[in-house]
Structure 1
Amino acid sequence: MAWPPANGLTTQRVPRLNVILPIHASTTVAAPASLVWSTLRDLSDFPTWNTFCPSATIHSQPKDAAESEANLLHLDTSFTFNVIMDASKPSKITPTQLRVTDFSTPDAQSGYIPADVLKVDGTYEADLGKVYRIAWSTEGGFVARGLRSERFHEIIVLGENQCEVRTWECQGGVLARAVKYYYKDTLMKKFAEWCEDLKRESERRAQNEATG
């Protein structure tokens, strides 16, 4: 099935009928899906590979999160991404407060997306046995009151050392129209760069592991 679906993208927090700005990107990665997943979850390593979001601050973790995983994203992690919208102005940071809304792995599958939606919608990978999935949504502050957004990542197993990365965000609310007008092209570019950065770092790690 082609992705993104012809009828448009959707999320649980911003359903298709309310989407004003959809943003998406995808790529294939020559690395195990589990390695890409661990790279994506570890915010402490973002400065080494993520040019769109080179730093992040965790505000709180769920009570059952292990102390050794304090820098990792979990379900219900509250955090802020420090985003660089203009690469020529790396000191100009846009802080975005977020909370993890979904978290699914082949071994611990989530029920966040209803089974009937997974089966027919086309936005999500339907086979939870071969996908790592995480989502986060805006929260707090003036922006959250006028902008509803939810972003998903799916890392889909294609083989032992190959996977597909898909990321998309749906925005709605009164401020989404302004974001669409001023930043749509920039955000599409930044999402593509995020995927390529994640691909590059994951493949580098996979190569290092292979060569010992």
Structure 2
Amino acid sequence: MKYPETATDPAAVTSSLVSPIAVPTHGAGGTFSVLAKVHISAAPLAVLNAVRDTSTWKTWNTFCPSCTFGPAKQVSNAAANHQDLPLGKENWLEPGSACQITYSMVGDASKSSGQQGIEVTVLRPLTVEVDGKDGFTIAWISTGRKHWQLHSERIMEFVDDGEGGCSYACWETFGGLLATAVKSVVGGQLRDRFGDYAKDVKGFVERKGNGS
């Protein structure tokens, strides 16, 4: 794994500010990362699909309840030839998707804190070398600022646990001149909201799997 392991109950959500974790586009380095993890009683693809299908966000996503799509960029990506990762579905995130997401920093989807531009950089199967377990990963970069000012990339991994569920991990690594100020001013809120996101997607897919 690329991210730190913690000796906690896997069914419980953990969320913390940690040293920078490498990301696909910006590489190693940066100022800090936000990391959230939880076990979800659903297949990796089901959890990934919940994240990709932005039309469902308003029903479960208290951190980022809505997403508006702009013109997509053409991105060469392994998803293009994978049967479990269909492309061209309306309101679904895919490589090159350029969007504006509405976010709430107070844990209440009805209270918007603003909008953030994102661009999807990765969507592909994930082969985990530990025990040969498989899964999927998706990532996106933030847009709207110059790289030297502030940049970030968010990665989510959904790893098959071999028993019908998956390990979910999400981290976002921040860098640039303003990253230290971001950590100081809203680091605690980011930690809490990433924890909410993990809890929200877990609840959504597990309820859906139970038919509720």
Q: TM-score range by the shorter chain?
A: 0.7 to 0.9
Question: What's the RMSD between the two structures over aligned residues?
Answer: 2.7
Cα contact 1:83–1:96 (8 A) shared by 2: yes
Q: Tell me if 1:154 matches 2:157.
A: yes
- Taking the aligned partners of 1:130 and 1:48, their CA distance within structure 2 comes to 28
1:1-212 mapped onto 2 (5 Å cutoff): 3-4=3-4, 9-16=21-28, 18-61=29-72, 67=88, 69-87=89-107, 90-105=110-125, 125-126=128-129, 130-140=134-144, 142=145, 146-208=149-211
Q: Deviations over 1:40-89 (max 9, x none)?
A: 1100100000000111111123568855x021010111111100012368
- Taking the aligned partners of 1:89 and 1:200, their CA distance within structure 2 comes to 16
In structure 2, what residue type is equivalent to 1:152?
A: I
Cα contact 2:136–2:158 (8 A) shared by 1: yes
Give the secondary structure class of the aligned counterpart of 2:178: helix
Task: Report what 2:15 is aligned to.
Answer: none
- Taking the aligned partners of 2:129 and 2:173, their CA distance within structure 1 comes to 19
Q: What TM-score results when the alignment is normalised by the length of structure 2?
A: 0.79
Which is helix-richer, 1 or 2?
1
Task: Report what 1:122 is aligned to.
Answer: none
Figure out how many residues of one structure are paired with residues of the other and give that number. 189
Query: Cα distance 1:150–1:3, how it changes in 2: closer, same or farther (>3 A)?
Result: closer
Query: What's the CA shift for 1:90?
Result: 3.4
After superposing on structure 2, the runs of 4+ consecutive aligned residues of structure 1 that deviate more than 6 Å are: none
Cα contact 1:143–1:175 (8 A) shared by 2: no
- Taking the aligned partners of 2:198 and 2:104, their CA distance within structure 1 comes to 15
More relative contact order in 1 or in 2 (CA 8 Å, sep 6+)? 1
Give the secondary structure class of the aligned counterpart of 1:86: coil
Q: Deviations over 1:112-171 (max 9, x none)?
A: xxxxxxxxxxxxx4479612100000123x466611100100000012521010000100
Q: What TM-score results when the alignment is normalised by the length of structure 1?
A: 0.79
Sequence identity percentage: 26
Structure 2, gaps ≥5 residues long? 6-17, 75-79, 81-85
Structure 1, gaps ≥5 residues long? 110-124
Query: Cα distance 1:87–1:129, how it changes in 2: closer, same or farther (>3 A)?
Result: closer
